[in-house]
Amino acid sequence: MRPVIGITAYSEPRAKKVYCLVSHNYIRSVCAAGGIPVVMPLVSDGTTAFDYLNVVDGLILTGGEDVCPLRYGENPIKEVELFNIDRDEFEINLFKEALRKHLPVLGICRGLQIMNTALGGTLYQDIFSQKEQSLGHFPKLLPVDTLYHSISIKKDSRLAEIFVSDEIRVNSYHHQAVKGLAEEFEVTARATDDIVEAVEHKGKDFVVAVQWHPEDLTVKHPAFLKLFEALVKAAIGVAPGGGYVRG
């Protein structure tokens, strides 16, 4: 059986109902990489959230709203206009439990930020007002599959192994970014303005997070499918309920 990859979703009020949503590009990318995508709706019951991880072999923490600055001990500045504290709580707990179960994890954009926050790191609430000489990272008028800027990848990292390169071009749709790095992570890619573009967990086989949106690039730029293929490959060795199968 193909590995099951859980994909976190977000909640959006519309008219008289609240909808559970996620970009179809995540789903399409997981399918193309050989996995079975399962959308994981936000739930307030912690037991149910942990039960999700008993039926998946890998986890994707998706993009979306800002991470609430109160999570890392700061009050919001005016550029922080939207966050969801329930989603923050849900995904932080989900990520920590996934680590405990040794599940492979891929964080994307907000996913990177929530992973860093979960392990004690901090964020730039708004890189354009808080970091000097920052370059463009949020081209609102460009299609999501546009390669916008270059990043440098650390040699001997998982990311360098996946892309077989120490420099690639990526898309970019974020205004928050890693400021203080959590001790359990190492930076494995940066933009030319020194913004963190990827991190990897020091002690886990596959816990990788990127600041760009590879799910939006896998059709027009197939090289980015390799990131999802690496997640699916890592998930193949996971036993039901978490933990790696040892040969």
- Please report the pLDDT score of residue 16 as a whole number: 82
pLDDT at 239 over 60: no
Mind listing the pLDDT tens digit for each residue in 148-207? 999 999 999 999 999 999 999 999 999 999 999 999 999 999 999 999 999 999 999 999
pLDDT tier at 245, thresholds 50, 70, 90: very low
Secondary structure of residue 109 in the 3-state scheme = coil
Active-site hit among 65, 197, 215, 229: 215
What pLDDT, on a 0 to 100 scale, did the predictor assign at position 80? 81
- Specify the pLDDT at position 49: 79
Residue 50 pLDDT: 86
For the chain, give the percent of residues with pLDDT over 90. 79
pLDDT at 13: 80
* Annotated catalytic residue 213: yes
Name the catalytic one among 137, 149, 175, 213: 213
Mean pLDDT throughout 132-136?
88
Domains, in order of start, for the chain: 4-236 (3.40.50.880)
User: 207, 104 in Cβ contact below 8 A?
Assistant: yes
Does 20 qualify as catalytic in the annotation?
A: no
For the question of residue 109 being annotated catalytic, the response is yes
Whether residue 90 has pLDDT greater than 70? yes
Question: What is this structure's pTM?
Answer: 0.93
The pLDDT mean for the chain works out to 92
Choose the catalytic residue: 65, 68, 109, 175.
109
Q: Report residue 242's pLDDT band, with 50, 70 and 90 as the boundaries.
A: low
- Cα distances from 71 to residues 14, 51, 83, 119, 185, in angstroms, run 27, 24, 11, 11, 18
Predicted local distance difference test score (pLDDT) of residue 15: 79
